Chains A and B, each alone.
Chain A
Amino acid sequence: MPTVEFELKKLEERSKVDKERIIEIIENSKIEIEEIENEKIKLTIPPDRFDLMFLNGLANFISTFEYGEGMKKIYIDISDVKVFSESVSARKYFACFVVENVKMNEEVLREIISFQELLHHSVGRDREYVAIGIHDLDKIKGKITYKEAGRKERFIPLSYHNEMSLEEVLEISDKGRKYGKLILNFEKFPVICDEEGIISFPPILNSERTRLTEKTKRIFVDITGTKQKAVDDTLRLLMYFFSFYGNVKKVYLNNKEFPEIEEKRFLLELSKINKLIGKEFSLSEVKMYLEKMGYDVIAMNDKIEVIVPFYRLDVFNERDVIEDLAIAFGYNNFVPKISKTYSKGRISRRERIEKKIREILVGLGFLEIISPTFVNKKLMEKCLILEEWTKVKNPVSEEYTVLRKNLFPSIMNFLKNNIDKQYPQKIFEIGYAVEGLRERRKIAFAIASSETNLSELISYIKAFFKELKIEIKLEKKEIPFLIKGRSGIIKVENEKVGYFGEVHPQVLENFGIFVPVCYCEIEDKIYSKI
């Protein structure tokens, strides 16, 4: 989620609300305050409210909330700019608009560029979903076309002095090397041209010719991308953003007015609102609170019609409006009250069984441990386990790459970490294990002591199953990391439910453990018998 930093003084200036109240309003909104320091406020913006990600948007929210006068009205006229778009396979979606009578200065220029970057990173997923080009419209000649171009076509990219082919831009410029991968697989590249040539090579660079300056009076904004919703969201956010600096206007795109921004309206019933919230609001209260949140509200009889500002990307249906009502009222002003819902409590079968098993093992003198489900290749090798276990594609550390199929590596690792502690050590663990794509619960217990041996282990196994009232048979069997002839399997009704034995001295040596260790592991198959 994006973090942004604003000067509190500027927020005060633009919202006409004082600092203490600004902080209070933000605290009771979805925005999270990370830090207030040196008169600057650092915020995390939730992914559904990117309209609060820039200074004017946030200030507008705060002043509307405080003064409840309804959002600044935005009228969108039409300009005479003509744009044509052809089909472009590398970036299918295209949108654009213009801004006239721009009140430009150094500060505005800085705000434009920083919001553009924020959008590239957030909605744009680093320009893959969306890339934005912002141009001085007065430097564009004639009609504008979005189309495909050959790799050899040339233009002067932003901040360069000489012409380059599109191919060269990808090789030579920083941005080309960084974002070239997004279009390299396509034979032809996306470009935006005017009558004199290329003005933009999305998602890489604009042209030097149409560079934005402090003298710019009219702006042309192009948005290209691979995801329809992302392009549409960006369009709305940018139109809102630029409405604070000039007159945002539509264009003629393929001879039709563009963009067509449909108005979202919802008709809400007061009784339904009050039922979902659980409090009796009056019609005028609902109207007042929703106006604080920037909606246009018409109240009639027992119904409320709301008109949603076009830049509120998060309002899908009535429920989103109701949340805003609750936010405006203040979550902490409600009187919490639990429902009368009748339901009988019950522990899950698995937890009931594992609780019992835990109690038996504690009764037998074992201390419970908990280890991560993740292990690693090195640990497995020390355990003489050479088979492949389930891995994750994106581990965060070499120590945790593989999901354990049994608990043996976890138990041995624990014993290794405690060789300087008092013996005997008797430990057990109940935890997840993964066999292929199937998850299992496994129970393991181990004894590390200079005195321990197979017959002691068998006594414990027998006592364990006796407590569970399960009849078992033990059978000799060779297990890779246990000593041959001192290991075996446990069977219940002729089905294998576990194995046991003395740990192989090679394993002990690998871990630097100098006392014998006995190990037993039992599968969750026995749960069906408990």
Chain B
Amino acid sequence: MKVSREEKIVLDYLKERKEEYVENLKILGLSEGQIERVCQELLSKNLVELEVIEKKEYELSDEGKEYLEKGLPERIVLNLIFSGLTDIGSLSLKYEKAEIGIIWLKNKGLIRIVRGSIEVEKGAEKYLNEKFEEEILLEKLRKTISEEELSESEKAIVKNFLKRGIVKERKGKRRKIKISQFGLSESIEVEDEISALTPEILMKGEWKVKKLKEYELVDAGEIYAAKKHFYNRIIEEVREFLISLGFKEFKGKIIETNFWNCDVLFMPSFHPARDIHDIFYIETNKKIKVDEEIFKKVKEEHLKYWKEFDEDLSKKIILRSHNTAISARVLYLVSKGKVKIPLKMFAIDRVFRPDTIDAKHFIEFDQLEGIIIDEDLSFVSLLGYLKELVKLFGAKKVKFKPAYFPFTEPSVEIYAKMGNSYIEVGGAGIFREEVTRPFGIEVPVLAWGIGIGRLVMLKANVKDIRDLMSQDINFLKNK
């Protein structure tokens, strides 16, 4: 029998596999439209059989999604109990769904209730570090799961979840395509029908004798425009905005030393102020050279106020944890006369921090950093620039709050009004004299750092920071 080229590909595949879900035929490189067409053709030629399978799928309800984000009631209640809250009344005051949590913990035999007060059973403690089976499954249900993907014990939990309104059941249909007996025995050739006009066909006039294949109008597969990543598209706008305000862009290094990342910025070697955020250390014994003259001067500033300075720590190689390290290097360029003042400088680049990964935190993200060096700058002009920058977020209103950063004084945190609430968008200040003195800079240096990722998330309507590095091609195509 004669078939089209695509039909032959599918038939050959089914000869190997015997059967396959229709949607899986995509791995053969066929578009959805092509797959539909091929299936209909093969069916009409009795070469294949189609079987429609009913299947159950489970997905999280709104409540389930909330639990996924905030934790199941039994988890929240268990944590509260271990933090010392054992009275049912006060648990309910602290957490509105406490009762649900208590019931489930009791059913699990992890707690007992004695006169309105909760006592913990043996074995409950291990769940402080260990996940409940329910939590593992909840995590799995982040994407829709079909019944066949579930183990027996998981099916029992899903049943429970259905009762609790955590999951929703959806009945779906899947189609399985099988090669028929006839399909197996019949010898197959790629047919002569004209599916596409070619110059040859036109020249020889073959179209006059052969059949031209008909197309269904719905056959077209979807196509998308190639494009820049939505993240970079927004960053480009930000960059243009800053350039229009007269800022020059600088680059630094992601492989840094503690010296430029922390010590130049007056972050003390042995003090809680060092821990304003954590730092990734590179596994190496090598050292990067730093300018000895500057090193000495910075060390002096530390000894004067912090009494101690850890040279070994200072020379350790790390991943840049904030772009103020770039500003520090720009101060150095100014001291060497390689960059002239007055100066307005900015940087948008990657920083790294060993944070716990969740919807709001990732270990790599970008920061927008800027400094302005000039004679007549003041705290009021810093606030002026910050007000201007907040426009990037589309915010009409800005609020300032005192803050602490080891390298600026005065320091300020910036809040932008988005909708009805204020969100923190960054920090700023005037560099301390202890920071600028080693570089011989005697005029004020205004400095600010803004979480650019948050800006992009707002503009692109992305809820999870990890989606800024999305691994889903369709998500990127649609952004």
Report the stretch among A189-197, A227-235, A490-498 that lies at the interface.
Answer: A227-235
How long is the Cα–Cα vector from A351 to B248 in the complex, in angstroms?
Answer: 12
B377 within 8 A of A: yes
- A-contact bits for B264-290, CB 8 A (1 contact / 0 none): 000010111101100011111010100
For residue B331, give the distance in angstroms from its CB to the closest CB of chain A: 16
Interface residues of B in 221-273 (CB under 8 A from A): 221-222, 224, 226-229, 231-232, 236, 239, 242-251, 253-255, 268, 270-273
With known contacts A345-B243, A365-B226, A337–B380 Cβ distance under 8 A: yes
Give the residue name and chain of the B residue nearest to A359 (CB). Answer: B228
- Is the pair B381, A338 in contact by a Cβ cutoff of 8 Å? yes
Complex alpha-carbon distance, A373 and B412, angstroms: 31
Determine the distance from Cα of A343 to Cα of B471 in the docked complex, in whole angstroms: 40
Given contacts A38-B94, A439-B254, contact A392 B469 (CB under 8 A): no
Residue contact A28 to B354, C-beta cutoff 8 Å: no
Cross-interface CB contact of B377 among A332, A339, A418, cutoff 8 Å: A339
8 Å CB interface, B294-311 against A? 305-308
Q: How far is the CA of A232 from the CA of B242 in the complex (A)?
A: 45
Given A417-B471, A450-B29, A515-B27, residue A341 in contact with residue B342 (CB < 8 A): yes
Q: How far is the CA of A363 from the CA of B226 in the complex (A)?
A: 8
Q: How far is the CB of B77 from chain A (nearest CB, A)?
A: 17
Task: Report Cα–Cα, A432/B280, bound state, in Å.
Answer: 16
Partner of A28, one of B276, B356, B402, B410: B402
Q: Are A276 and B404 in contact (CB under 8 A)?
A: no
Chain A 332-362: CB-based contact to B (< 8 A → 1; otherwise 0):
1011111111111111101100010011011
Q: What's the tally of chain A residues with a CB closer than 8 Å to chain B?
A: 103
Is B372 interfacial (CB 8 A cutoff)? Answer: yes
Q: Is B28 an interface residue (CB 8 A)?
A: yes
Instruction: Report B-chain residues with C-beta under 8 Å of the C-beta of A420.
Output: 23-24, 26-27
Contact with A along B352-377 (1 / 0, CB 8 A): 10111100001110000000101011
With A49-B404, A278-B379, A451-B29 as known contacts, state yes or no: A228 contacts B246, CB within 8 Å.
no
Residues of A within 8 A of B250 (CB): 348
B379 touching A277 by the CB < 8 A rule? yes
B434 at the interface (CB under 8 A from A): yes
Contact of B32 with A422 in the complex, beta carbons under 8 Å = yes
Q: Is B14 an interface residue (CB 8 A)?
A: no
Q: How far is the CA of A269 from the CA of B354 in the complex (A)?
A: 44
Q: B255 to A343, Cβ gap below 8 A?
A: no
Point out the residue from B27, B93, B305, B350 that lies within 8 Å of A514, measured CB to CB: B27
Contact A334 B473 (CB under 8 A): no
**CB distance A316 to B434 under 8 Å?**
yes
Chain B residues with Cβ below 8 Å from A228 are: 307-308
CB neighbours (8 Å) of A456 from chain B are: none
Contact assessment for B247 and A434 in the assembled complex, using a CB-CB cutoff below 8 Å: no
CB interface residues, B 456-472, toward A, < 8 Å = 468-469, 471-472
Stretch in A168-176, A320-328, A470-478 with 4+ CB within 8 Å of B: A320-328
A347 touches B243 (CB 8 A): yes
A322 contacts B410, C-beta separation under 8 Å: yes
Instruction: Tell me, rounded to whole Å, the shortest Cβ–Cβ distance linking A419 to chain B.
Output: 7
**CB of B151 within 8 Å of the partner chain:** no
A370 at the B interface (CB under 8 A)? yes
Q: Does B31 contact A (CB under 8 A)?
A: yes
B243 & A122 in contact (Cβ 8 Å cutoff): no
Q: Assess whether B343 is interfacial by the CB under 8 Å rule.
A: yes
Within 8 Å CB of B402, what residues of A?
A: 28-30, 323, 326-327, 331
B380 / chain A contacts, CB cutoff of 8 Å = 277-279, 334-337
Spot the interface stretch: A104-112, A151-159, A207-215, A394-402: A394-402
Question: B350 to chain A: which residues have CB within 8 Å?
Answer: 373, 432
Q: On chain B, which size bracket covers the interface? A: 35 or more
Which residues of chain A come closer than 8 Å to B227, judged between CB atoms? 362, 367-368
Q: Does A317 lie at the interface of the complex (its beta carbon under 8 Å from any beta carbon of B)?
A: yes
Stretch at the interface among A253-261, A304-312, A423-431: A423-431
| B404 and A227 within 8 A (CB) | no
- Residue of B270, B343, B384, B444 near A129 (CB, 8 A) is B270
Distance in angstroms from B426 CB to nearest chain A CB is: 14
The answer on a CB contact under 8 Å between B384 and A336 is yes
CA distance A377 to B185 in the complex (A): 48
Pick out which of these stretches binds chain A: B125-133, B162-170, B175-183, B385-393.
Answer: B385-393
Of residues 121 to 177 in B, which have CB atoms within 8 Å of A's CB atoms? none
A27 touches B401 (CB 8 A): yes
Give A393's nearest chain B residue, CB to CB: B281
Tell me whether A466 is interfacial, beta carbon within 8 Å: no
**Cβ contacts under 8 Å, A365 to chain B:** 226
Q: Which of these, B281, B412, B471, contacts A394 with CB under 8 Å?
A: B281
The one of B254, B288, B409, B476 that contacts A319, using a Cβ cutoff of 8 Å: B409
Cβ-defined contact, A343 with B379, below 8 A: no
Do A413 and B471 touch (CB < 8 A)?
Answer: yes
Query: Which chain B residues lie closer than 8 Å to A97 at the CB level?
Result: none
Answer whether residue A67 sits at the interface, using C-beta atoms and an 8 A cutoff. no
- B432 near A: Cβ within 8 Å? yes
* With contact pairs A336-B383, A372-B363, A392-B319 given, residues A350 and B251 touching in the complex (Cβ less than 8 Å): yes
Task: Give the distance in Å from the alpha carbon of A1 to the alpha carbon of B433 in the complex.
Answer: 24
- Chain A to chain B contacts (Cβ below 8 Å), 27 pairs: A28-B401, A47-B272, A47-B275, A227-B270, A227-B308, A334-B379, A339-B372, A341-B246, A341-B372, A341-B377, A342-B342, A345-B246, A362-B228, A367-B226, A367-B473, A367-B476, A369-B229, A373-B364, A390-B282, A390-B284, A420-B24, A422-B221, A422-B222, A437-B284, A437-B317, A438-B255, A449-B29
The 10 closest A-B pairs by CB, nearest first: A450-B29, A278-B378, A278-B380, A345-B243, A46-B404, A336-B383, A338-B384, A323-B410, A331-B400, A348-B249
- Extra contacts besides A343-B247, A369-B473 (16): CB < 8 Å: A1-B275, A125-B270, A125-B272, A129-B270, A230-B270, A232-B307, A319-B432, A332-B399, A343-B342, A344-B246, A346-B243, A346-B248, A363-B226, A397-B363, A420-B26, A437-B284
